[in-house]
Amino acid sequence: MSKRHLVLLFFFLPFYSLCQDVGEVEYKKIIVKEWSVDVFLNTHGGGIGFQQGRTPNYNDKHFWELEFMYNAHYKAVRARNPYFPDARAFAYGKLCDLFFLHGGYGYQRTIHQKPYWGGVRIRYTLSGGFSLGLAMPVYLNIAEYANNGLMDGYTVERYDPEIHNIGDIIGRAGFFRGIGQTSLRPGFYFKTGLNFDFSKDDYTIHALEIGGSIDMVFPFVQQMAYNKAKPFHLCAYIAYHFGKRKGNYE
């Protein structure tokens, strides 16, 4: 190698080393915290949730979650009484509206990493914990009749299938009319699914998740008259997550 070549090598070597260092710093971006809000639909209703987690390594995530969801009975069909003009819709036989409040712990494991040029990262997810069922009784507008058989106004009463005939029901009272009589049913829940993260950069979260969940609360909740109380509530869901990630020094 000539002296001229040695001089050129000596001159450009520092710039080569600097480029290598910058590349390594960029490559070693480490995400340690995540938070996201999620909205979801399931086969019995829908809800909203929040997750906050940590990522001890590149493939694993541990998180806490809080969710609130509405659970409708599959036999609760809304209709209107055709004999009363301007009647409000109601579901005949519906005893209560059921909600679930979840608080639990979860884990995600990456099974397909996102390529450096973009794409989708796939993770399976497991979570579970405490479930609180909130059963809010249904109140209806019940027609009152005068001695001559004509309607003489209405009263607001808690639905009782033993005394309320479908012909006397004008419609449902206000949705929150029975909130003061809501009964609490403690239990547990479990969820599992696949999470598809299609975020465009390392510091934002945009992901779709599909899976299934089960809730069991005690005592069991009877949502519909003439139907047995369900011992557990099983459903499939689809959720959209959006949020932020933070690195080591943020």
8 belongs to a structural domain? no
pLDDT of residue 1: 52
Mean pLDDT taken over the chain: 87
10 belongs to a structural domain? no
Higher pLDDT, 4 or 158: 158
How far is 234 from 220, CA to CA, in rounded Å?
A: 14
pLDDT grade for 170, boundaries at 50, 70 and 90: very high
Which is nearest to 44 in space by CA: 69, 78, 79? 69
Half-sphere CA count of 235, side-chain side, radius 13 A = 22
| CATH code of 224's domain | 2.40.160
Residues 6+ apart with CB under 8 A from 55: 31, 32, 33, 34, 61, 62
Neighbours of 249 (CB within 10 A): 6
The mean pLDDT value for 110-129 works out to: 91
How far is 52 from 194, CA to CA, in rounded Å?
A: 18
pLDDT of residue 210: 98
Q: What stretch of H or E contains 71? A: strand 60-71
38 belongs to a structural domain? yes
69 belongs to a structural domain? yes
- The two tokens of residue 71 are 């659970």
pTM given for the model: 0.84
Residue 42, SS3 per DSSP: strand
- Mind listing the pLDDT tens digit for each residue in 218-236? 999 999 999 999 999 999 9
pLDDT of residue 18: 40
What separation in angstroms does the CA of 39 have from each of 46, 135, 139, 153?
8, 22, 29, 42
Give Cα 156 to chain centroid, integer Å.
33
Range scoring the smallest mean pLDDT among 10-14, 118-122, 147-151, 224-228: 10-14
Please state the domain count of the chain. 1
Residue 67, SS3 per DSSP: strand
5 belongs to a structural domain? no
**What is the dihedral sign for C-alpha 200, 203, 204, 206?**
positive
204 belongs to a structural domain? yes
- The two tokens of residue 138 are 């249904």
Asked if residues 28 and 244 have their Cβ atoms less than 8 Å apart, the reply is no
37 belongs to a structural domain? yes
Range of the domain at 213: 28-247
How far is 188 from 181, CA to CA, in rounded Å?
A: 22
Residue 218, SS3 per DSSP: coil
6 belongs to a structural domain? no
Residue 238 burial by Cβ neighbours in a 10 Å radius (0-12, 13-18, 19+): middle
- Res 50 pLDDT > 50: yes
Higher pLDDT, 203 or 2: 203
